[in-house]
Homo-oligomer: A and B are copies of this chain.
Amino acid sequence: MNDARHVSEISFEGEVGIVRHHDFLCEEEFYFESGSVLPAFQLRYETYGKLNESRDNAILICHALSGDHHCAGVYSLNDRKTGWWNQMVGPGKPIDTNRFFVICSNCLGGCQGSTGPTSIDPKTGQAYRLSFPLPSIRDMVAAQSRLIDFLGIQKLCCVVGGSMGGMQALQWAIDFPDRVESVLALATTPRQNNQAIAFNAVGRAAILQDPEWREGQYAPGEGPDVGLSVARMMAHITYLSDEGLDKKFSRVRRLLNSDQTIEEIEFEVESYLRYQGDAFVNRFDPITYIYFTKALDRFDLYGENGILEEAFADVTARTLVVGFTSDWLFPPEQNRRIAAAMLRAGKNASYAEVDMKYGHDSFLIDSPELSRLICNFLQES
């Protein structure tokens, strides 16, 4: 590909080995499923480990709604926070970077370095905002495929992802059957139920009805912070389990006196959610949030005929789908249905259910059982 190149590269060697942080610029036109076109796009991505000579040891990790390309390691010794899947990715870890070359890119439409609504439209010199096309899960995967082309990788050894990342992993196996050896999809769904759509819809309503929304034309540093924060607080509840919350907070009150005003925070869980909401506003773009939740809501592998196995007709990848007992956002049953439909379609698929208490976010939490499962699955690669 002559029209793709690296525009920047930094790296840092830490506990997980070298974290390589790149910007990949694809200067070819990119066509969205909707017919919209971008003249060019950039994906920010990280790599860990080394691509071997036969270029057949690459694993692509796809991130969830609020995730990004930084899935492991740190950028400096002062970095308190590691990447979001640090316990899973690194030398000797389940996704073993001594053996695999691991790639994780910020999704197209994202706000962490990949081209998205906050990027500058070369035609106008202004940020795209709402003129940026709404990406589907398929579009995200198509953009990633350009990066994989650029890296000279014909076939990925595995595509891995949880939640929205799991949707991408499945879409990879569907759209690029010759380029995916195996798929590991965690805490995901072939399509969301109405409850999950409803929560996303309320999150979007909170942003769109915020007076600071201004049809997406808010000034830099301004914007629908309240709406985005409320959307995130609410969504955060759906990522956790009732039992997990009760273990974490045991209904503790921070303050309890009669002088307390109703505007003060009373319960620990309330304080925790406020913090989550405020922190999110500092790192996430409201338009990307709306776009990604729309991509989730529209994702539907059942298709027009409502027959899930038809989606998997061309899949060749060996597939493991993992559901989590306490996940009520994308419940075990929805994960199980994916594997069952693949089996009905005659594919090499299996389903595992992990008994973890942390709700939808269980896939992000360190667990010996989950680690062993992933480790064993990748051993066969």
Contact = CB atoms under 8 A, between A and B. Distances in A.
Interface of A: 34-35, 130, 134, 191, 193-195, 197-199, 201-202, 204-206, 208-212, 215, 226-227, 229-230, 233-234, 237, 240, 242, 245-246, 248-251, 258, 261-263, 266-267, 269-270, 273-274, 277, 290-291, 294, 297, 300, 328
Contacts of A246: 193-195
Contact of A205 (B194, B230, B328): B230
B242 A201 contact: no
10 contacts: A35-B258, A134-B262, A193-B242, A193-B251, A194-B246, A198-B270, A199-B234, A205-B277, A215-B263, A262-B291
Contacts of A242: 193-195, 328
B251 A191 contact: yes
State the 5 A-B residue pairs at the shortest beta-carbon distance, nearest first: A201-B270, A194-B245, A195-B242, A209-B226, A202-B233
A364 to B, nearest CB: 19
B273 A202 contact: yes
Contacts of A234: 199, 202, 234
B245 A229 contact: no
A267 B201 contact: yes
A92 to B, nearest CB: 36
Nearest to A262: B290
A211 B246 CA distance: 32
A117 B165 CA distance: 47
Given A201-B233, A205-B230, A211-B212, 7 more contacts: A191-B251, A194-B245, A194-B248, A201-B270, A205-B233, A205-B274, A205-B277
B130 A262 contact: yes
A261 B201 contact: no
Contacts of A263: 208, 215
A242 B204 CA distance: 20
A234 B194 CA distance: 13
A374 B35 CA distance: 59
A274 B202 CA distance: 8
B134 A197 contact: no
Contacts of A266: 294, 297
A343 to B, nearest CB: 24
A297 B230 contact: no
Nearest to A272: B198
B130 A261 contact: yes
Nearest to A230: B206
Contacts of A193: 242, 245-246, 251
A194 B134 contact: no
A143 to B, nearest CB: 19
Contact of A297 (B198, B209, B267, B328): B267
B226 A270 contact: no
Contacts of A134: 262
Contacts of A273: 198, 201-202, 205
Contacts of A274: 205
A237 B195 contact: yes
A197 B267 contact: yes
A195 B258 contact: no
Contacts of A204: 262
Contacts of A297: 266-267
Given A202-B237, A205-B273, A261-B130, A194 B251 contact: yes
